[in-house]
Structure 1
């Protein structure tokens, strides 16, 4: 933090409020918010910075925040295992109320989907939760959920392509169209 602070301060010569967001799952103990350089006879530097440790925050405290960053970061907060599907549904509900442009919506929903992966049982609870909230009928919600599903299918298809599985088999397994699989194959070829 001190190095980032020093470089930015030197480059822009402006006051900088240093803050770090810790997004790791473990450990849950509080992280230090100070950097010191000291010798027995001289205290050279005592640099303090703000720290936001997501795994120590309750996701419930951010439910009413009309902020897309809150929707994204809720997925990395302190979530009891049994509440994971509810948190994902609440993130979705929050996104729906924000009326973001499609690019921002995809960015935030992609973050939530990446960091709050649900197993099959949790997915069923999630679907029930969005139905209860009345979200399953809203067009923008269905677009987000559909994009999450398509991204997952595309990842599966890419893995199968890397393994040399035939296009026809991938189409049958994933439900993607032959054109979509061919497009993914072209992407894979460009990467290599």
Structure 2
């Protein structure tokens, strides 16, 4: 497969899903991609789906059609299923009994069918975030987060990306206090313990949970705002920033106006 360069393009994400009523929807992930050694640009549309919907394949076709109608570019549609049910359909067809009019296919990834251990050597931030939605048992919860923290330490991402990925991971795999204590005990025995314990996200979580002195809490709050500013620069929506940083919408709006 040819190598490509990826350029996030928020302007592609907003499309009209109902041309008559004028309804508008912001697609989850839409990026512009340029294949190396070629001048052509393509669009990659990634649509996460967390619940079973019997008309999802039809909705993917609708998004594909609207994106193509608006931008007239090659589009690669990808669905990422994260629900537990074993149901998925990656094709939409239209036709008559004796005549096939259209067959639309999209790529699909069912995270629960993936073994998290197969991805812990990856240096891809997305793989680290998605560990929390892959297949693992209740007994493996602590191990999954331990490997996630190790991956984060090795990748050495900037604070904004760390918070974004950590926020996603925590949304789907949140350890209780007892599990967190066991995790910290195991982390201290690891070769990468020093790097992991130096992660800003690790300090922040332990600081908030243990109610450290006000000076540290103030530093955490300042760090959140710095992360929010970085995320705003990258064109991320206020909803996503609020979910990841836990800042109020009003605070984020104020930062955007600066």
What range describes the TM-score normalised by the shorter chain of this pair? 0.7 to 0.9
Distance 1:129 1:140 in 2: 12
Structure having the higher helix fraction is 1
Q: Which runs of 5+ in 2 are unaligned?
A: 1-59, 222-246, 252-258
* Shift of residue 11, structure 1, vs aligned partner: 1.8
Q: For residue 200 of structure 2, what is the aligned residue in structure 1?
A: 143
Contact preservation (8 Å) 2:149, 2:196:
no
Q: Tell me how large the CA RMSD over aligned residues is.
A: 2.8
> What's the TM-score once normalised by structure 1's chain length?
0.73
Alpha-carbon distance in structure 1 between the residues aligned to 2:212 and 2:197: 22
Q: Is the Cα contact below 8 Å between 1:92 and 1:141 reproduced in 2?
A: no
Find the aligned partners of 1:139 and 1:63 in 2 and give their Cα distance.
Answer: 15
Runs of 4 or more above 6 Å deviation: none
Q: Out of 183, 186, 194, which is 1:129 matched to?
A: 186
More strand by share: 2
**Equivalent position of 1:57 in the other structure:** 114
Give 1 or 2 for the bigger CA radius of gyration.
1
* Matches of 2:192 and 2:147, distance apart in 1: 10
Answering whether residue 73 of structure 2 is matched by residue 14 of structure 1, we say: yes
CA contact (8 A) 1:57 1:78 kept: yes
Q: Which gives a bigger RCO, structure 1 or 2 (Cα 8 Å, sep 6+)?
A: 1
For residue 92 of structure 1, the aligned residue among 136, 149, 155 is 149
